[in-house]
Structure 1
């Protein structure tokens, strides 16, 4: 069994308060497709969703980014087709609030994966060079095999996106997958 971890594909990160914009919109179909595919294959799917409290001066991101993904707001809703997929398969998807870049930091993700005997994690979502990267590094440091779906990750920083994709492969030993590019 393997797991798909979809990171921060929410309204605020796609077109809202901290938007990736067009690069994120372009991966919408692929993320929804991957989510459905993993569920239908009997694999585990996690929605790792950023959760912030409004006016939290102690959160380290408050100095770096505009307020986003505030609890209780529509900005935390999954974006577009992924929201529809989530509604169709809600009982099959593990929703997990995260409060730091990595989906492992301060959450029960590692325990949940190990309880299910999962050793291979697949990553999709935004931002490639921030939350996806930090989740990949923490997964690597915990001994998981990594796969990053290049056609299902995006960033508002094109240079950071390219660097992170290379880092996944060269430094973390991740398999970088892209549906439009045949496997070697």
Structure 2
């Protein structure tokens, strides 16, 4: 299936969690001192592929990590995340808020799906909207390679999507972690660079 011709109309660029609260200098993670040059570089690297897919009739899909607000707007935060990111607070990753949105450079997305855990398929409408849109091929990028990206890639694979992971369209908080995750995903997805993916789309 990896070698089958690409049908752009059935292909989606699945952007995992490239949101203001993760990337922007005014976002939640920057406030907590959790920044990464590799992560910050992703929107510019992914943009030519997103633009090409839009121009040729493909799809751009954004997943939005979400902290669901409870009473008084206080977010539900899982214990492991609270331990890792104690700086998260009310208003961060809140549905409809600026921090929750896809970064401006990659707007607009054709489809947007909120998620509450690593995988964009876990307890979400992701598979439903992809099937309704006729999408059977996914080029997956975003953050972090060993978390949301890896979980989403594996879940796409077991659902029989033709799955590709953009090796330089993803990042983690260390290059070593990123490279290890890309290598591990080789059994369930085709790894290719953003430039290689762009060439596939342009040639289709």
TM-score computed with the length of structure 2 as normaliser: 0.75
Deviates more, 1:146-155 or 1:128-137: 146-155
Between Structure 1 and Structure 2, how many residues are aligned?
174
CA–CA distance in structure 2, aligned partners of residues 178 and 144 of structure 1: 19
Deviations, residues 82-103 of structure 1 (Å, cap 9, x unaligned): 2xx32xxx5xx11111111111
CA–CA distance in structure 1, aligned partners of residues 20 and 39 of structure 2: 10
SS in structure 2 at match of 1:111: helix
**How far has the Cα of 1:20 moved from its partner?**
4.4
TM-score computed with the length of structure 1 as normaliser: 0.82
For the pair shown, the structure with the greater C-alpha radius of gyration is 2
**How far has the Cα of 1:63 moved from its partner?**
3.5
CA–CA distance in structure 1, aligned partners of residues 131 and 46 of structure 2: 24
What's the counterpart of residue 31 of structure 1?
A: 46
**How far has the Cα of 1:148 moved from its partner?**
1.0
Question: Out of 149, 157, 171, which is 1:140 matched to?
Answer: 157
What's the counterpart of residue 59 of structure 2?
A: 44
Q: Is the 8 A contact 2:67 2:77 kept in 1?
A: no
- Structure 1: where are the runs of 5+ without partners? none
Question: Out of 52, 55, 61, which is 2:81 matched to?
Answer: 61
CA–CA distance in structure 2, aligned partners of residues 79 and 180 of structure 1: 21
Asked if 1:71 corresponds to 2:95, the answer is: yes
What's the counterpart of residue 113 of structure 2?
A: 96
- Structure 2: where are the runs of 5+ without partners? 1-9, 69-73, 200-204
Q: Is the 8 A contact 2:164 2:191 kept in 1?
A: yes
Q: Is the 8 A contact 2:49 2:194 kept in 1?
A: no
Question: Out of 155, 177, 182, which is 2:192 matched to?
Answer: 177
SS in structure 2 at match of 1:69: coil
What's the counterpart of residue 128 of structure 1?
A: 145
* RMSD, aligned α-carbons: 2.3
Q: Is the 8 A contact 2:11 2:59 kept in 1?
A: yes
